[in-house]
A and B are shown apart, each in its own frame.
Chain A
Amino acid sequence: DSGVTQTPKHLITATGQRVTLRCSPRSGDLSVYWYQQSLDQGLQFLIQYYNGEERAKGNILERFSAQQFPDLHSELNLSSLELGDSALYFCASSRRLWGGGPADTQYFGPGTRLTVL
């Protein structure tokens, strides 16, 4: 158990719909990251927040948005869903940012499996 929690574990929805994925980081971790993993694309970095502020952006679509709240939990909002958005969505957290020390180690949650029908 990494200490990072994600809800829900599974989500099945229809094209065009909007969903919200939730992540609670490990106690004391200020940084939250979102990743998407699909069968054909592998693991892709979406976005990162540190202490409530957006710090880095990856291959995140305009239909997707995220935020980190004062209690440090984060939500990833996916809208106008398409079949191709079906994937595993992982959240990770770390104490600091992108350095090379132990405090920069990212701990991944168990993921949310999204299926768009």
Chain B
Amino acid sequence: KNQVEQSPQSLIILEGKNCTLQCNYTVSPFSNLRWYKQDTGRGPVSLTIMTFSENTKSNGRYTATLDADTKQSSLHITASQLSDSASYICVVLSGGQAGTALIFGKGTTLSVSS
């Protein structure tokens, strides 16, 4: 069964600290993996898209990694800011002859405090 699991479910960190969010998936066939940031009540914002051949991709203070062998991805946030408080959603795209499927993780809620 295609699944995307994110951990932790929630996280509280102090401003300025780093953190890492995890995403494990069992999706086949794998097409690409996306990380989104979603502020409460607003539309998600794309952070990174990674294909099978990409190990690392950065977007400012956000760095995503992908290990296609172990089917794991992580999102590392450096020098956190209060504005990083949001839900972070991992999405895996599966594309095959059966068609395209999007499998969503339930998200990690990050709270950055001063």
Contacts and interface: CB of A to CB of B under 8 A. Distances in A.
B45 A43 contact: no
Given A42-B106, A43-B89, A98-B32, A55 B100 contact: yes
B104 A44 contact: yes
A105 B55 CA distance: 18
B78 interface: no
B54 A100 contact: yes
A107 B95 CA distance: 20
B101 interface: yes
B43 interface: yes
Which interface class (under 10, 10 to 19, 20 to 34, 35 or more) fits A?
Answer: 20 to 34
Which interface class (under 10, 10 to 19, 20 to 34, 35 or more) fits B?
Answer: 20 to 34
Most chain A CB inside 10 Å of its own CB: which residue of B38, B54, B93: B93
User: By DSSP majority rule, is chain B's interface helix, strand, loop, or mixed?
Assistant: strand
Nearest to A99: B32
A14 interface: no
A89 B27 CA distance: 25
Contacts of A90: 43-44
Interface string B25-60: 000000110000010011111100111001000000
Contact of A98 (B42, B89, B93): B93
Given A43-B89, A108-B45, A56 B104 contact: no
A100 B102 contact: no
B100 A98 contact: yes
A105 B102 CA distance: 14
A92 interface: yes
A9 to B, nearest CB: 11
Interface of A: 2, 4, 42-45, 48, 55-58, 88, 90, 92, 98-101, 104-111
Interface of B: 31-32, 38, 41-46, 49-51, 54, 89, 93, 95, 99-102, 104, 106-107
10 contacts: A45-B102, A90-B44, A98-B32, A98-B93, A98-B95, A104-B32, A108-B44, A109-B43, A110-B43, A111-B41
